[in-house]
Structure 1
Amino acid sequence: MHWITTAAALAALTATAAWLGPGGAAAEPPAAPVAGPDPAAADYPVDCGPYGITVTDHLTVDLDGDGVAETVAAVHCDAGAGTPPHGLYLLTAPARGENAPRVALTLVDPAEGMTLENLAARGGTVSVRLLGYSSPDVPRSAPDQRRDVSWEWTDGTLALRAAPPPGSY
């Protein structure tokens, strides 16, 4: 009988606490996601000749914590076949009186011949895996080099941080 009385008292106390809730606490609704610059509207510094540019991946993030979202966009020439190199760009809001987002920073230049995968952001850091080629003889469809890199917002700028090359540790 003692155990039944103790269990009933504990259940009543738990139910009362759940019903009353914590005093003075109020749940705030989660902040609405902030839209960053439209990557499809940007004018990228890439010469694709007769081909257009394709945005292959993008993400919106407030890198500097100022409440204004930036967009990081991965693009390449729309060559129709093969594996064209990517460019990775940081986009900011259009300048006053303009409609297109501004390319504020080139993170990866297509001239470097890299392709990209695993674009991600967390807090003030953007990360990506770079895929490359050890020589011109390596087929463009089979990159034989890879390196994970990130850019971290530090002291008012994005600082590049490269992970050690695979197999070097």
Structure 2
Amino acid sequence: MQLSAGQDLPHTRTRALHWLATAAALAAAVATASFVQPPDATATTDAASGARAAAVGPAPDPHAARYPVDCGPNRLDVVDSATGDLDGDGSPETVAVVRCHTETGTPPSGVYVLARPATGKGAPRVAATLLAPAQQRSVEGFAVRGGAVTATLLGYSTTDVPRCCPDVRARTKWQWKGGKFVQSELPASSDTAGV
């Protein structure tokens, strides 16, 4: 069979089905290429989102931390703890209330914010001291909510007040602002359980 000028072979004519098959094959090749990458390929993301993704993990264990408290021969007790993202970085911190163990009386409390170690391995680190035992306060009604730490602090107005019976009560809040924890006093309330 001889073709005259201007005549095409049947398999050289483009039809809609031909274009559809070509588009499907091209899409499959692009999809496959997006999943297959060389072993040394690295994804590029902005530094903040990459750091945030790496920072997400479990909250620090308050029993594994080393606190800046000297209890002498007595052990240090973690009497309360709570977790929450206090600085807005997407990674939870742990707030721990600690005090030296004793069989009698109520030794002063310390309140510490714990963060995971920078290397990701090892004991949690103390990132901030909200209340040091040297301030001679006890803690009750402790909570972490909405990125803030709240507690009722019990203390003594003078050294003459018996250590069994605190006569000063202050509802306190600590919140992360401007790169540090800012302490503020909350209005007095007769209900301290809901602090």
Bin for the TM-score computed over the shorter chain: 0.7 to 0.9
* Equivalent residue letter for 2:175: E
Moved over 4 A (4+): none
Measure the CA separation in 2 of the matches of 1:67 and 1:96: 17
Measure the CA separation in 2 of the matches of 1:123 and 1:156: 17
Q: What is the deviation of 1:130?
A: 0.4
Q: Between the two proteins, what is the percent identity of the paired residues?
A: 51
What residue number does 1:48 align with? 71
1:74 to 74, 85, 97: 97
Measure the CA separation in 1 of the matches of 2:121 and 2:71: 24
TM-score, normalised by the number of residues in structure 1: 0.73
What residue number does 1:57 align with? 80
Q: What is the deviation of 1:98?
A: 4.3
What residue number does 2:135 align with? 112
Q: CA RMSD in A?
A: 1.7
Secondary structure in structure 2 of the residue aligned to 1:39 = coil
Q: What is the deviation of 1:95?
A: 3.0
Matched, 1:129 2:148: no
* Equivalent residue letter for 2:161: V
Q: Deviation per CA, 1:41-61, whole angstroms, max 9, x where unpaired?
A: 000000100001000000001
Asked if 2 retains the 8 angstrom alpha-carbon contact of 1:41 and 1:101, the reply is yes
Q: Deviation per CA, 1:48-106, whole angstroms, max 9, x where unpaired?
A: 00001000000001012221000000000012211100000000002316411000111
Structure 2 regions of 5+ residues with no counterpart? 1-56, 190-195
Q: Which has the larger radius of gyration?
A: 2
What residue number does 1:29 align with? none
How many matched pairs?
133
What residue number does 1:37 align with? 60
1:63-102 equivalence runs, <5 A: 63-96=86-119, 98-102=121-125
Query: In proportion to residue count, which structure has more strand?
Result: 1
What residue number does 1:138 align with? 161
Measure the CA separation in 2 of the matches of 1:155 and 1:135: 34
What residue number does 1:149 align with? 172
Measure the CA separation in 1 of the matches of 2:188 and 2:151: 14
TM-score, normalised by the number of residues in structure 2: 0.64
Measure the CA separation in 1 of the matches of 2:87 and 2:118: 18
Measure the CA separation in 2 of the matches of 1:129 and 1:90: 17
